[in-house]
């Protein structure tokens, strides 16, 4: 690629410019690239990977087992060299080697003919009638003017929308989700001499230090994440001041770890080995899109007709103005939920998409969809949308959504919510009434349970000669008019689960009981009580789900009840509440690497 060293009056023609080479940006470029088009990634750092490499976040959050084909290729490359931990569904984080991740992303892009321009950032944009017509890029060799047919802004900062005049949200210091600095300490095998430079803070106990997470590795490496508050990540001066403040705070924390110890465990034989290339950023700006995803929609798992990605992560709202860990914020679990194409379209834009943390959503919803496995889906969808527009000569107002969805799914990215739920599955749980006893016949019979697409269920039963049914959609029950008794799971004492196990359901002495066994019959768990008061005259109905069981039964007072949980919920019993578990100070010791991805 030949680039001019100064801006010219005529832009260099490019089919697609991807602004930002993080996980969303790289996946967008990979999805959009064909032998016939020209795709350029503009990245301000010296490597690809964004927060997952430059920001030091060496761990994937979200469901990494079912993202899309390019992401699976990245994981496979890492796993082939034992550079990523196995996928453990109930772990909140999947560690990997960030330097190798950066290299593999680079190679995946280059082998497909994607042009990568490092040490470059967009400093100007011009749009008319919703069409971005020109970008000015500052490079190591000077200013470059580009004339893209389509733009994907995966910078996280909404750089192009801001410069081109599209509306954005900017929370500012002490209102944004806070930044974090990642650094690594290594075991030396001998006592070290702690250093506390002048001007760095001194702490005496764990309640005083910044919110800190430690991840220990068998090699002796300790990865530390340290919260940094009080600065605006989207302001040039604020970001610069945050970097310098964070390094002062870091040296104070290192001195504390070496002399006092985190949770009583000193790192007095460890020294600072490396610091991330840039401070970790959770939030900068968000577009105001054609749709603004709300916290309520995320909590209800709303089903969108223009769904192009699925969020699998929990709410992760860190208090933006509090340094310490205690009461860090909100970490409520969410069911997998759709992310619509419209939330990536700046209001009025015709050839601009914004995947990733800069997409349109309220702050709490964004705190969940901002993580790497999720933004990889968003970027992949944006890339395919751009590709369709380029191939058909249309803009986003005329995009064929069904065709786009089919292309996304053909690329290994399911949009069916029923295919998800494995990530942090032990924390996903429902036990709720379908109808109150006053709405239910005194003698329901012949229960049926039908599992549908997108996490929906239908339950039906007979009342005399009539069939009554209700649908669970978006985590809410509503009566639906039945045509006839649906085909589905009826009364059964045993059902095959998705993991080669059997669930044996019974009622005894007024209790709902479940026993998990292998297909061969050997019992792997003691019989567990799921409900204490059950009407044994109405046989419960059971359906297998991806992660466990859904059961409908009638309780003693006459309520029709729905129970939905994972195998772990049955075998191990209720886990610690997710809000407690996810807020607890993690100090994870990684197991030896396995070749299992």
Helices 23-32 and 98-111: crossing angle in degrees, nearest 10, is: 20
Looking at residue 106, its pLDDT comes to 98
Task: Inform me whether the pLDDT recorded for 439 exceeds 70.
Answer: no
Name 392's Cβ contacts closer than 8 Å, sequence gap at least 6: 400
pLDDT at res. 23: 98
Domains of the chain, by residue range, sit at 12-169+285-292+343-403, 179-281, 430-573
Work out the mean pLDDT of the chain and round it to a whole number. 91
Most confident residue range from 366-380, 431-445, 482-496, 539-553: 366-380
Q: Which string of DSSP letters, residue by residue, matches 546-564?
A: SSEEEEEEEBTTS-EEEEE
Interstrand relation of 548-554 and 168-170 (parallel, antiparallel or unpaired): unpaired
CATH number of the 12-169+285-292+343-403 domain: 3.50.50.60
Tell me: pLDDT of 593 over 70.
no
**Cα dist from 480 to 131, 469, 487, whole Å:** 44, 6, 16
Distance CA 178, CA 223 (A): 19
Nearest to 589 by CA among 61, 280, 187, 228: 187
E-assigned strand segments in 367-522: 430-435, 445-451, 457-463, 466-473, 476-480, 494-496, 501-508, 511-518
β-pair type (115-117, 39-42): parallel
Measured between alpha carbons, how far is 347 from 395 in angstroms, rounded to an integer?
Answer: 14
User: How far is Cα 546 from Cα 555, in angstroms, rounded to an integer?
Assistant: 26
Contact of 45 with 169, CB cutoff 8 Å = no
pLDDT value at residue 597:
30
Contacts of 182 (CB under 8 A, 6+ apart): 55, 56, 57, 58, 223, 224, 225, 226, 275, 276, 280
Query: Has residue 3 got a pLDDT over 80?
Result: no
Q: How many other CB atoms sit within 10 Å of the CB of residue 160?
A: 29
Q: Which two tokens stand for residue 73?
A: 């290729």
Indicate whether 10 pLDDT > 70: no
Model confidence pLDDT, tens digit, residues 214-234: 999 888 899 999 999 999 999
What count of other Cβ atoms lies within 10 Å of the Cβ of residue 1? 9
Where is 17: in which H helix or E strand?
strand 12-19
Q: Among 228, 249, 206, 245, which Cα is nearest to 318's?
A: 228
Q: Say which residue, 462 or 49, is predicted with more confidence.
A: 49
How large is the average pLDDT for residues 145-152?
A: 98
Looking at residue 485, its pLDDT comes to 67
Question: For residue 266, what is the DSSP state?
Answer: -
The β-bridge partners of 352 are 151
* Beta pairing partners, 339: 309
pLDDT in tens, 95-131: 999 999 999 999 999 999 999 999 999 999 999 999 9
Q: What is the pLDDT of residues 484-509, one digit of tens each?
A: 667 766 666 778 887 778 888 888 88
Q: Are 177 and 317 in contact (CB under 8 A)?
A: yes
């Amino acid at each position: 690629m030949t680039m001019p060293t100064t801006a010219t009056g005529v832009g260099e023609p490019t089919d697609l410019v991807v602004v930002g080479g993080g996980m969303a940006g790289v996946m967008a470029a990979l999805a959009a690239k064909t032998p016939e088009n020209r795709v350029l990634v503009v990245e301000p750092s010296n490597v690809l990977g964004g927060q997952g490499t430059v920001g030091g976040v060496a761990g994937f959050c979200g469901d990494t087992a079912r993202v899309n084909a390019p992401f699976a290729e990245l994981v496979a490359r890492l796993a082939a060299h034992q550079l990523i931990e196995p996928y453990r569904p109930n772990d909140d984080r999947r560690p990997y080697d960030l330097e190798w991740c950066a290299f593999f992303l680079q190679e995946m892009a280059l082998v497909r003919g994607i042009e990568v321009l490092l040490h470059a950032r967009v400093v100007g944009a011009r749009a008319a009638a919703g069409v971005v017509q020109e970008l000015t890029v500052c490079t190591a060799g000077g200013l470059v003017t580009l004339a893209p047919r389509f733009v994907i802004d995966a910078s996280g900062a909404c750089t192009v929308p801001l410069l081109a005049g599209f509306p954005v949200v900017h929370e500012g210091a002490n209102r944004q989700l806070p930044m974090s600095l990642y650094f690594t300490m290594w075991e030396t095998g001998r006592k070290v001499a702690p250093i506390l430079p002048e001007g760095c803070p001194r702490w005496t106990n764990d309640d005083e230090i910044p919110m800190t997470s430690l991840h220990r590795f068998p090699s002796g490496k300790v990865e530390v994440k340290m919260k940094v508050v009080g600065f605006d990540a989207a302001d040039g001066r604020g970001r610069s001041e945050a970097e310098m403040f964070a390094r002062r705070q870091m040296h104070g924390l290192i001195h504390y770890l070496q002399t006092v110890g985190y949770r009583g465990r000193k790192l007095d034989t460890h020294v600072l080995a490396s610091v991330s290339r840039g401070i970790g950023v959770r939030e900068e700006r968000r577009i105001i899109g054609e749709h603004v995803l709300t916290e309520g929609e995320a909590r209800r798992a709303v089903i969108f007709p223009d769904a192009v990605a699925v969020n699998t992560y929990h709410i992760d709202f860190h208090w933006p103005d509090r340094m310490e860990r205690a009461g860090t914020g909100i970490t409520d679990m969410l069911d997998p939920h759709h992310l619509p194409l419209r939330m990536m379209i700046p209001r009025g834009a015709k050839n601009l998409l914004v995947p990733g943390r800069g997409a349109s959503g309220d702050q709490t919803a964004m705190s969940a969809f901002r993580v790497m496995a999720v933004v990889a889906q968003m970027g992949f969808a944006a890339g395919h949308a751009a590709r369709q527009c380029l191939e058909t000569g249309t803009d986003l107002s005329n995009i064929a959504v069904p065709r786009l969805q089919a292309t996304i799914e053909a690329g290994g990215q399911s949009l069916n919510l029923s295919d998800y739920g494995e990530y942090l599955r032990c924390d996903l749980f429902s036990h709720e009434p379908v109808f109150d006893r006053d709405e239910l016949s005194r003698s329901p019979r012949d229960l049926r349970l039908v599992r549908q697409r997108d996490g929906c269920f239908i339950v039906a039963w007979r009342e005399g000669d009539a069939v009554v049914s209700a649908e669970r959609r978006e985590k809410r029950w509503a009566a639906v008019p039945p045509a006839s008794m649906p085909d589905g799971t009826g009364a059964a004492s045993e059902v095959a689960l998705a993991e080669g196990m059997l669930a044996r359901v019974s009622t005894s002495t007024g209790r709902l009981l479940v026993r998990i066994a292998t297909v061969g019959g050997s019992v792997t768990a003691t019989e567990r009580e799921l409900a204490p008061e059950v009407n044994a005259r109405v046989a419960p109905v059971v359906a297998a789900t991806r992660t466990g069981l859904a059961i409908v039964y009638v309780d003693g007072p006459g309520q029709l009840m729905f129970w939905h949980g994972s195998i772990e919920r049955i075998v191990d019993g209720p886990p610690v509440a997710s809000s407690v578990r996810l807020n607890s100070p993690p100090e994870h010791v990684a197991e030896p690497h396995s070749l299992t991805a």
